[in-house]
Structure formats: structure tokens, C-alpha cells
Amino acid sequence: MPDDKVRVQVAGRALELSNLDKVLYPEAGFTKGEIIDYYTRIAPVLLPHLRDRPLTRIRYPNGVADKFFFEKNKPAATPDWVRVETLPAPGSTKGREMLDYVVADDLPTLVWLANLAALELHTPQWKVGHHPDMLVVDLDPGAPAALKQCCEVALLMRDRLADDGLASYPKTSGKKGMQLCCPIAGSQDADLVSGYARRIAQELEREHPKLIVSKMAKNLRPGKVFIDWSQNNAAKTTVAPYSLRAQSMPAVSTPLTWDEVEAGAAGKRPATKPYAAGEVLKRVEKSGDLLAPLLDGGPRVPI
């Protein structure tokens, strides 16, 4: 076997890892081996958010400064122990009606994907065979607006959703924005959820026209935060909590406390600097999964 390949056992599965010293984040010197290590260590809190959800992966075989590609269909030579679900693919650019999606329910699958340089992991708001069980709003700032303004809008959105009985849980996108995730009853289809999110976005836009925009046209966004209600479309996916992002540093989509969001609105961290992989591991060690309420089976409000 060539020196750049290593055979390992992961939870009883045999895997062959390759090019572990290959640098995939050049500015940070972060290697594929470190990426696999991060995903292995974060797996206890990440996997529950991936379970039963078809994965869209963004792969960077030569690192974040080079070409990348989106992947929904299972890769060639997918091991037979990887869970694959054949599902309709709304919005498929290839014109396919059905795709074979990978579902990452276990650690071996997560490590296998990391070895393929699947740096970013994105999921829909629904699980296989079910209506959406989560409402997500994406907060996307138009320069010169930034994460500080996203935190301001997140607080407004939190309070408005609470008026309808919805609890919301914040996380950074790992790039310039944020998302709020709300557990919902799972008894309504994606069009209904998306329509509700759109109405709330339009309402907040009317109340705060200098800060918020609900329309997708990019020429309307400078200096404002776009509330992307369309994330609830059945064809859309959102970066999973704890996923790496393809930035200059190994940034992570990081769950936050509302105290941290209030600090961000005041211009303090997280508004000033994204959280990196090592920091997120320390946060989880200290506080556990701040998004655990999305998984605990507690009250879920119908829209």
C-alpha cells in the first residue's frame, strides 16, 4: 500500500484514509488529517443533527482555495454499509427525478465523507419520509452590514416568533451570517412553513425598513440584513450545525446562546470573529450541544 494511505477501524468498519498531510486550508495550514480528527471528535453532537436527513456535500479535493463541487448523489465506490436513500430531488440541475442520497447516521460514514474532502455538510429541514420538523431563517447581511446587524435582527426575529409560541435557537453560518432554527410540529408541508416564514420576514421589514429586507433582489440588500425565508423550500438545504465552512480558516457553523447574540448585537464576539474548529470543540466540552432542544422531542408548535 502506498505510504499516503492508512487503514483504520472506525466503530467496526474498515476504512482507508489517504493524503492525511494534505493541506486543505492553506492560510491556516489545516490538513485533511486535522479535518478528519475534528469531525471524529465533534461527531457526538453533530451526528444527531444529521440523522435521517439526506446530505448535500460540498467537496474541496484540493483545498478551499481551489475548485469545489456540490454533491447530492452518492459517490462512486460508496461502501455498501453507508446508508443510501433514493428520494425525489426537487430542483435538481441534472434533470434527475430521483437521487441516491447519503444519510450520515454513524461515525464511519462521517469519517468516510471527511476523507473525501466533503468539508461542508448541508441538510434540508425535513427527515426522510416526513414533513419538515424545523423552520429555519437565514440572516444574510449586505455590506456594510455584517454579523453585528444579523445579531440585531436575530433578537427581533426571536421575539416575534415567540409571540406565536415558537422557540428559536441561534447559530452562526460560519461565514458572514446567522441562522435561527425552530422546532415545529412536522404536520405541515414545506410550502406552508415557507409561507409563514415569508410573512414574518415581511412584517419585520415593514417595522424596520432601514435594517431588514425580505426580498431576494441583491440590489436591495446593501446595508441591510436579508431574512431568507426560502430556506424552508423543500429543495433548499442549510449548513448543519458544527459543519466546517470553506473559509480562509477552518471556521464552523457554531451554535450560540442568546446572551452571546445580545453581545454580538453590541459589537462583541461573535460579531467580531468567527469560531474555528478547535474553539468549537472546547465550547462543546464546556457547554454541550446548545442546539440539543431541537432534538429532545419536546413541544413542537404547528405553524
Q: What is the pLDDT of residue 121?
A: 98
Share of the chain above pLDDT 70, in %: 96
Is residue 298, in this structure, part of any structural domain at all?
A: no
Domain with 102 in it: 5-123
Q: Are residues 81 and 174 in the same domain?
A: no
**pLDDT average, residue stretch 108-118:** 98
Q: Are residues 95 and 183 in the same domain?
A: no
At 199-227, the pLDDT tens digits run 999 999 999 999 999 998 889 999 999 99
| Residue pointed to by grid coordinates 441591510 | 224
Read off the CATH number of the domain in which 212 is found. Answer: 3.30.70.3300
Number of domains into which the chain is organized: 2
Cell of 46: 453533530
At 243-261, the pLDDT tens digits run 999 999 999 999 999 999 9
At 38-79, the pLDDT tens digits run 999 999 999 999 999 999 999 999 999 999 999 999 999 999
Q: Is the pLDDT of residue 1 over 60?
A: no
| Residue pointed to by grid coordinates 436591495 | 220
| Residue 144 burial (10 A CB sphere; 0-12, 13-18, 19+) | exposed
Among 75, 102, 123, identify where a domain stops. 123
Q: What is the pLDDT of residue 89?
A: 77
Q: Are residues 86 and 155 in the same domain?
A: no
Cell of 85: 436513500
Give the separation between CA 37 and CA 24, rounded to whole angstroms: 14
Give the separation between CA 164 and CA 161, rounded to whole angstroms: 5
Read off the CATH number of the domain in which 58 is found. Answer: 3.90.920.10
pTM (two decimals):
0.95
Q: What is the pLDDT of residue 2?
A: 46
Q: Are residues 78 and 164 in the same domain?
A: no
- The four Cα atoms 289, 136, 119, 51 give a dihedral, to 10 degrees, of 60
Is residue 303, in this structure, part of any structural domain at all?
A: no
Q: What is the pLDDT of residue 92?
A: 55
Q: Are residues 148 and 108 in the same domain?
A: no
